[in-house]
């Protein structure tokens, strides 16, 4: 049985991992409707999403660009242009799951190549006062290894590639999330953390709701967590993390988790699955999938 919690606390830390829906474009507007407590978003790309930039100012709903992979060779130029044209870019994300295969949505980059690109495309942004996120590795043990190799390569190439915050991806239970965050804090002391993708994938509705409630309360309490974004802004029948993790039902209605995440009340709308594609494994990313499907950002 699903949890009966009626309401959930609001939080200014919450943001949107924007997975655009070209088939049902009205779904994209749900996240900025009146009453939403979301304050920022990213879309795995460099340019703001028109559905939001045309409706909200940058100060009301902050767009955070991402340097997704090595092909983004104009990242510095595009961010500079956005800034000089009046869009106040104050944060950027870098390299989506570079330690993961492209088959699972990762950018699949060698640490040395990532360091070289960071020095060219990201380091100058710090001199402009823009805060930079470290590469967003997976929650697997290999993620830590990759990140350590990345910083070592930066040093060998003449800079320390200072990151202002550490992005975290996690797919698994709460105990694993808490342990992983503890490891990140111990490895990078005095550095803020952004949890930019997280969910409990492919579990029962009650278990998934319990995870959401416990993890969101935990992330709100921790002073080291500067921002977080739950991975579930899509319909339950189009979810690659299981229907119960989605924030919209198969009909495009907010689920309890979806409404709670926006700071609202329980809806009692039950998500269900259809013939949606399932990605194997735990550490999942959407960056590649968006490109393959040709979905507009």
Does 5 reside within a domain?
Answer: no
Whether the CB-CB separation of 14 and 259 falls below 8 Å is answered with no
Nearest to 101 by CA among 112, 109, 89: 109
Q: What is the tens place of the pLDDT at every residue in 14-24? A: 999 999 999 99
Domain range for residue 40?
15-293
Please tell me the predicted confidence (pLDDT) of residue 293.
30
DSSP 90-109: -EEEEEESTTS-GGGT----
Does 8 reside within a domain?
Answer: no
Number of H helices, E strands in the chain: 9, 9
Does 6 reside within a domain?
Answer: no
Please tell me the predicted confidence (pLDDT) of residue 7.
61
Does 108 reside within a domain?
Answer: yes
Does 289 reside within a domain?
Answer: yes
Does 3 reside within a domain?
Answer: no
SS3 83: helix
Residue 94's beta-bridge partner residues? Answer: 67, 135
Residue 199's beta-bridge partner residues? Answer: 171
CA distances from 274 to 21, 235, 237 (A): 16, 10, 5
123 is written with which tokens? 């380091």
Please tell me the predicted confidence (pLDDT) of residue 103.
86
Q: How many domains does the chain have?
A: 1
Mean pLDDT, contiguous 10-residue spans, the chain (297 residues)? 60 96 96 96 98 96 97 95 97 97 92 97 96 97 95 95 97 98 96 98 98 97 97 97 98 97 96 60 39 34
Please tell me the predicted confidence (pLDDT) of residue 9.
84
User: 202 exposed, middle or buried (CB, 10 Å; 0-12, 13-18, 19+)?
Assistant: middle
Residue count (the chain): 297
Tell me the CATH number at 132. 3.20.20.80
pTM of the model as a whole: 0.90
Q: What is the tens place of the pLDDT at every residue in 273-291? A: 974 443 333 334 444 333 3
Does 10 reside within a domain?
Answer: no
């Amino acid at each position: 049985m699903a949890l009966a919690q009626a309401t959930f606390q609001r939080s200014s830390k919450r943001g949107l991992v924007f997975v655009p829906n070209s088939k049902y474009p009205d779904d994209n507007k749900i996240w900025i409707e009146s009453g939403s407590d979301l304050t920022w978003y990213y879309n795995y790309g460099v340019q703001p999403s028109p559905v939001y930039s045309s409706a909200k100012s940058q100060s009301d709903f902050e767009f955070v660009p991402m340097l997704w992979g090595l092909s983004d060779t104009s990242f510095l130029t595009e961010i500079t242009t956005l800034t000089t044209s009046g869009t106040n870019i104050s944060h950027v994300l870098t390299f989506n799951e570079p330690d993961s295969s492209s088959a699972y949505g990762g950018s699949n980059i060698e640490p040395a190549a990532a360091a070289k690109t960071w020095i060219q495309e990201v380091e100058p942004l710090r001199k402009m006062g823009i805060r930079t996120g470290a590469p967003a590795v997976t929650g697997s043990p290999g993620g830590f290894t990759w990140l350590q190799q990345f910083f070592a390569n930066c040093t060998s190439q003449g800079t320390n590639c200072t990151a202002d915050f550490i992005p975290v991806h996690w797919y698994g239970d709460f105990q694993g999330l808490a342990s992983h965050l503890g490891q990140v804090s111990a490895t990078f002391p005095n550095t803020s953390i952004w949890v930019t993708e997280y969910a409990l994938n492919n579990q029962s509705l009650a278990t998934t709701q319990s995870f959401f409630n416990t993890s969101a309360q935990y992330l709100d309490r921790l002073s080291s967590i500067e921002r977080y974004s739950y991975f579930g802004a899509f319909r339950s029948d189009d979810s690659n993390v299981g229907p119960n993790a989605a924030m919209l039902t198969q009909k495009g209605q907010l689920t309890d988790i979806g409404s709670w995440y926006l700071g609202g009340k329980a809806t009692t709308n039950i998500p269900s699955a259809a013939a949606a594609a399932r990605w194997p494994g735990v550490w999942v990313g959407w960056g590649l999938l968006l490109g393959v499907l040709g979905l507009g950002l």
